Amino acid sequence: MVLRKSPQTLKEMVDASQRAYDETGCYAGIMDLEAKESDPLKYELFHSRILSSLISGRETTRMISASPFVREVAELCIGIYTPEGDNIAQSTGIQVHIATMGEVIKWMINNEYETKVGIADGDLFCSNDNSIAGLHPADVYDILPIFWKDELVAWVCTVIMEIDIGSVNPPCMAVPNVERATDGIRICAEKIGSRDEIRRDFEIRIERTIGMYQTFLLDRKGAVAANIRVREETKNLIGEFGLDYFRQTTRELIEDERRTQLARIKQRMVPGRYRNVTAVELYLKDQPVSWLPGKVDTVRLMPVEMTVEPSGTLSIDFDGTGEWGWHSMNATESGVRGGLSIGLVQSMCYDGRANLGSLLPCQLNVPIDTVLNPSRVLELPTANIWTSTIQVFNHWLTLIGSAFYLRGYREEVFGFRTSFGFQASGYNQHGMKGAFLPVAIAGYIGGCARGVADGVDMGAAYYTPEPDIGNFEVWEMFFPNLDLYRRIDPFSVGHGRFRSGASMNGIWTPHLSQFLMVSSAMGGGAVRLLDNTALFGGYPSGRGCTMSLSQTNIKETVEAGNPLVLDIGHPAHLEFPKHVEGQLTVHDKIVIPAEVHEGDLLITITPSGSGLGDPLDRRPESVLPDLENGFTTEEITRSIYGIEVEFNEPTEKWEIDEMTTTINREDKRKQRLARGVPMRQWWGNARQRIMEKEIDPLLKDMYQSSMKMSANYTQEYRDFWALPDEFVF
Amino acid sequence: MSYSKEDLRDLYNGTLPWGQVKEIMSNPKDDDRFDKYIEILQESVLWEERILMPLGEHIFVVEKDGERITKCDCGHEFGDWRQNWKLNALIYVRDDRVKLEEIYPGIRCPDPDICEVREYYCPGCGALLKVESVPVGHPPLFEILPDIDVFYREWLGTPLKHEKEFKDRTYEVTREWGKET
């Protein structure tokens, strides 16, 4: 069934475009920006009309969807694509998906959808299969072709993150999965409707597969409405500007952005090699699993190296990354490209012009069969692809930030850490079974220090430029919970001359649910390790974790009319257990779901980003507003920053003792010189321990896995520690 | 687009009013930034060697007697810039709960069985140059190795006199250490 009557098939167009790029180095072989150069105002008007249609489409979805993910946090995004699946422009929102949605279109084309499935005006396609392309399966793509008369001239795609996709364990980013089937529903670039209407049989499948099918289906309708709105505006544009202009200019916008991106790199960076390393962890050895090979604890190293090439292109290499495993942290090359896509939007391409052209000057090397790119992905769970992807790109941001710093554009230096919390499944307050993930926690987190200022306090999320907690009363309408506590935690901060943003912690209790179970929501991969994202003498912030207090006396306290004291307080001397009876458990992460009851306290300890620069170089006056606003404490101010402060009771103001501060800081520098040992000496001792393999078995396995995957990593490891050629762990 | 050295100095010090910082962030980038940046850095140190590139808050690649070395603003020299400067720093490793909890108290503390936090100090002034949080046994990272000649020759169009091979020379040192062990 071929409904498109163009002289070329879509597959031929994809191949021709790629050939032209390979031959010329310019997108689609566009050597001259004719539309831009002949009439720049018309060109800008054309782009702004496209962009405004995407943003208004996104707002349309927010009005239709019932999901708090969409309405409160705006976990969605819309992009428009060439017939070949190349992104032309994108709305605001979770822009991590912009490249990957285009990859789904290309996959459809390469899998002969044009002839074997049919692509017609009004057809609706849907996909959440991240082994085709995408991030985690909770992100559902709705795809609509745009026809002008009989010719397919563009595609529009909307992504929405779903609360519930019918996975086995709670809820949409299920942690303990060891098999692909347990991830929930898989929609594999499927045609789900025609003539702008979702097929009834698809709706029936959703109704009978997913607990919270209403939100899932309303989200589809919201996405389809947005896509239709963009399609109609695109047709208006073609009517006004002409089809030839549309064809030429949509492609020129990509080539224009490619050139701009190269210019940005050469203007803002310094060529050279930049390196960092991180790891992901998951502990399943002592947990029940449905597939016994998954019953292991896993730590996998993920080095990241960025080379700013003399040409101005970026080579990003993950050589040395450890192997894939039977766990939910496996990523895909497509997902890694998604991480890069949003990273570039956040760090360089924030002028509204980001599209495929932003990515073209970047080459990725994601070695096959590593945890970032398993070849057996069709057998594996990938519900937490985000865990490894966001972890590695948080660290990549330190590389790009260092390159900006070297060039003098310190105001562009920034970074993120990711959120931490609970996800749940069970019955809601209306007796309906469903899944619950309060992504409001995305808004809890403080970002890394910037190059010229402290980090953003709360509301710094990598995956969206617009993190928002939303209205908690609305969250409580959807989830059977009561939000009891949120407070800025001064102990969340990563210290430095510029500190990280501070994060908030939270406490909630189940409410009016006949049965509820929770596990951790894994935003990032580090559990027992810390992120290595601090720059130039700043400290990474401490770890995040979850805690629970069960069998509490909260019900009795409330019934007696006594106050509830729920402050978390100092991390070494927790406050709330002194006031609420119960059994406290500190979890690294709850992998396997645990049953919780009304009155239990579920506590999120949120990490923050990292600091920048030596804390002893922090301007003493900077701590005064921090003390007044609860972003630091007198204890931290003195012990970390060497700043002596005193609270003046009559004026109710903090004051700095400058003389003592100077002495304190000089003492601290002397203490460093006294306790620091020459590197040569430390190297000898550390080398001896490595030679004798005196490290944790988990780490031996981690290093061995990286060595198995990479000859280069192996050689560098042996070279640094001067180990024999045959050394293995 | 261009900014005064005074404004840029305040920007780097964190004392420029936020309104101006935001303006600098939002405006197109100023093409003379690097030149002024180097001038500001050069004016901040007491020694004479030419700064070619900053590597952090206190350390720089400088030109000295036809060679390029890493040097702290206090004057301490770390050797060839192509060798990880950490090899000539002082190191302090937080590898148990007592040491870690000085920074990360209670529930904020990472697990010292697998995680260590390394602090690198300048032997001359005690400045904290870098904090590294890595799995136990991981080699110290050589985070930044700028390709200085390509930068000056091809990107700035002002080639340097004594061009050097762009090469990581860290392992030359550690191999020597290995022979001595």
| For chain A, domain boundaries | 10-256, 264-413, 416-440+461-612, 623-675, 690-721
Helix (H, G, I), strand (E, B) or coil at A202: helix
- Distance between CA atoms of A70 and A693, rounded to whole angstroms? 50
Q: Is A82 exposed, middle or buried (0-12, 13-18, 19+ CB in 10 A)?
A: buried
Residue type at position A511: H
- Distance between CA atoms of A359 and A140, rounded to whole angstroms? 22
Confidence of residue B180 (pLDDT cuts 50, 70, 90): confident
B53 and A614: CB-CB below 8 Å? no
- Distance between CA atoms of A355 and A91, rounded to whole angstroms? 10
Q: Is A700 exposed, middle or buried (0-12, 13-18, 19+ CB in 10 A)?
A: middle
Angle (CA) A338-A344-A347 rounded to 5° is 140
Please name the residue that has the structure tokens 């017609």: A120
A positions 101-160 inside 8 Å of B (CB)? none
Between the CA of residue B87 and those of A678, A681, A683, B140, B169, what are the distances in Å?
A: 8, 10, 9, 9, 11
Helices (H) and strands (E) in chain B, counts: 6, 8
Contact at 8 Å (CB) between A493 and A454? no
- Distance between CA atoms of B32 and A690, rounded to whole angstroms? 48
- Distance between CA atoms of B64 and B48, rounded to whole angstroms? 9
Q: Is B152 exposed, middle or buried (0-12, 13-18, 19+ CB in 10 A)?
A: middle
B144 and A402: CB-CB below 8 Å? yes
Cα distance from A259 to chain B (closest Cα, Å)?
16
Q: How far out from the chain centre does Cα A440 lie?
A: 14
B139 and A410: CB-CB below 8 Å? no
- Distance between CA atoms of A218 and A199, rounded to whole angstroms? 14
Contact at 8 Å (CB) between A77 and A90? yes
pLDDT of residue A615: 98
pLDDT of residue A235: 97
The listed range with the strongest mean pLDDT (A158-167, A560-569, B84-93) is B84-93
- Give which of B20, B140, B23 is closest to A683, Cα–Cα: B140
**Chain A residue closest to B51 (CA)?**
A406
- Chain B residues with CB under 8 Å of A539 CB are 103, 117, 131
Give the max Cα distance, chain B.
57
Confidence of residue A523 (pLDDT cuts 50, 70, 90): low
pLDDT of residue A181: 85
Q: What is the DSSP string of A87-135?
A: EEEE-SS-GGGHHHHHHHHHHHHHTTHHHHT---TT-EEEE--TTTS-S
Element holding A164 (H helix, E strand): none
User: Worst-scoring range by mean pLDDT, A24-38, A441-455, B140-154?
Assistant: A441-455
- Distance between CA atoms of A646 and A653, rounded to whole angstroms? 8
Element holding A17 (H helix, E strand): helix A10-24
First vs last Cα of chain B: how many Å apart? 56
Per-residue pLDDT tens for A624-637? Answer: 999 999 999 999 99
What φ, ψ does residue A546 adopt, rounded to 5°? -120, 155
The minimal CB distance from B143 to the residues A274, A680, A696 is found for A274
Whether the predicted pLDDT of A167 surpasses 90: no
- Distance between CA atoms of A613 and A618, rounded to whole angstroms? 8
Element holding A68 (H helix, E strand): helix A68-71
Chain B touched by A29 (CB under 8 Å):
no
Q: State chain A's mean pLDDT as an integer.
A: 91
Which of A497, A499, A529 is the mutation pick for testing B, counting most B CBs within 10 A?
A: A529
The minimal CB distance from B108 to the residues A410, A491, A534 is found for A491
Number of CB atoms found within 10 A of residue A508's CB: 24
pLDDT of residue B79: 96
Q: Is A557 exposed, middle or buried (0-12, 13-18, 19+ CB in 10 A)?
A: middle
- Distance between CA atoms of B70 and B80, rounded to whole angstroms? 6
Q: Where are the beta strands (DSSP E) in A469-618?
A: 481-489, 503-510, 516-522, 545-550, 569-570, 573-574, 583-587, 594-596, 601-605
Confidence of residue A1 (pLDDT cuts 50, 70, 90): very low
Q: Give the burial string for A353-364 (b: 16+ CB within 10 Å, else e).
A: bbbbbbbbbbeb
When comparing pLDDT for A283 and A525, which is higher? A283
Whether the predicted pLDDT of A416 surpasses 80: yes
Where helices occur in B14-146 by DSSP H, the ranges are 18-26, 33-43, 97-101
When comparing pLDDT for A679 and A589, which is higher? A679
Which of B20, B44, B115 is the mutation pick for testing A, counting most A CBs within 10 A?
A: B115
- Distance between CA atoms of A351 and A82, rounded to whole angstroms? 21
Between the CA of residue B70 and those of A403, B61, B141, B171, what are the distances in Å?
A: 17, 5, 16, 17
Element holding B17 (H helix, E strand): none
Pairing, β A516-522 against β A569-570: unpaired
Confidence of residue A2 (pLDDT cuts 50, 70, 90): very low
Percentage of residues in chain B having pLDDT higher than 90: 97
pLDDT of residue A722: 96
ipTM of the complex: 0.98
Where helices occur in chain B by DSSP H, the ranges are 5-13, 18-26, 33-43, 97-101, 148-150, 170-180
pLDDT of residue A590: 65
Q: Is A137 exposed, middle or buried (0-12, 13-18, 19+ CB in 10 A)?
A: buried
A positions 249-278 inside 8 Å of B (CB)? 266-268, 270-277
- Distance between CA atoms of B112 and A539, rounded to whole angstroms? 16
pLDDT of residue B144: 98
Per-residue pLDDT tens for A181-200? Answer: 888 999 999 999 999 999 99
Whether the predicted pLDDT of A61 surpasses 90: no
- Distance between CA atoms of B8 and B2, rounded to whole angstroms? 10
pLDDT of residue A11: 95
Helix (H, G, I), strand (E, B) or coil at A674: helix
User: Worst-scoring range by mean pLDDT, A257-266, A291-300, A639-648, A662-671?
Assistant: A291-300
**Arithmetic mean of pLDDT, A549-565:** 89
Per-residue pLDDT tens for A79-138? Answer: 999 999 999 999 988 888 888 999 999 999 999 999 999 999 999 999 999 999 998 899
Contact at 8 Å (CB) between A31 and A200? no
**Chain A residue closest to B122 (CA)?**
A673
Whether the predicted pLDDT of A612 surpasses 80: yes
Confidence of residue A158 (pLDDT cuts 50, 70, 90): very high
- Give which of B89, B29, B32 is closest to B56, Cα–Cα: B89
**Arithmetic mean of pLDDT, B10-14:** 98
**Chain A residue closest to B136 (CA)?**
A695
pLDDT of residue A680: 97
pLDDT of residue A6: 56
Whether the predicted pLDDT of A5 surpasses 60: no
A positions 684-723 inside 8 Å of B (CB)? 684, 686-687, 689-690, 695-696, 698-699, 702-703, 716-717, 719-723
**Arithmetic mean of pLDDT, A58-77:** 81
Which of B10, B22, B72, B90 is the mutation pick for testing A, counting most A CBs within 10 A?
A: B90
Q: Which residues pair with A300 in a beta bridge?
A: A280
Q: Is A244 exposed, middle or buried (0-12, 13-18, 19+ CB in 10 A)?
A: exposed
User: Token pair of A436, please?
Assistant: 């619950």
pLDDT of residue A175: 81
Per-residue pLDDT tens for B58-102? Answer: 999 999 999 999 999 999 999 999 999 999 999 999 999 999 999
Percentage of residues in chain A having pLDDT higher than 90: 68
Percentage of residues in chain A having pLDDT higher than 70: 98
Confidence of residue A701 (pLDDT cuts 50, 70, 90): very high
User: Worst-scoring range by mean pLDDT, A349-358, A453-462, A527-536, B123-132?
Assistant: A453-462
Which of A407, A547, A712 is the mutation pick for testing B, counting most B CBs within 10 A?
A: A407
Chain B touched by A570 (CB under 8 Å):
yes
First vs last Cα of chain A: how many Å apart? 58
Contact at 8 Å (CB) between A331 and A385? yes
pLDDT of residue A463: 75
Chain B touched by A530 (CB under 8 Å):
yes
Q: Is the dihedral of CA A331, A335, A337, A342 positive or negative?
A: negative
Contact at 8 Å (CB) between A161 and A439? yes
Where helices occur in A382-449 by DSSP H, the ranges are 385-407
User: Token pair of B5, please?
Assistant: 């050295």
Confidence of residue A3 (pLDDT cuts 50, 70, 90): very low
pLDDT of residue A589: 66
- Distance between CA atoms of A280 and A175, rounded to whole angstroms? 13
- Distance between CA atoms of A190 and A188, rounded to whole angstroms? 5
- Distance between CA atoms of A693 and A491, rounded to whole angstroms? 35
Contact at 8 Å (CB) between A396 and A343? yes
pLDDT of residue A74: 77
Chain A touched by B152 (CB under 8 Å):
no
User: Token pair of A312, please?
Assistant: 């101005």
A679 and B141: CB-CB below 8 Å? no
pLDDT of residue A519: 82
pLDDT of residue B22: 95
Whether the predicted pLDDT of B48 surpasses 90: yes
Helix (H, G, I), strand (E, B) or coil at A266: helix
**Which residues, at least 6 apart from A575, have a Cβ–Cβ distance to it below 8 Å?**
A565, A567, A568, A569
A530 and B146: CB-CB below 8 Å? no
pLDDT of residue A367: 97
**Arithmetic mean of pLDDT, A234-259:** 97
**Chain B residue closest to A690 (CA)?**
B137
Between the CA of residue A491 and those of A446, A487, A540, A615, what are the distances in Å?
A: 12, 11, 12, 15
- Chain B residues with CB under 8 Å of A639 CB are 102
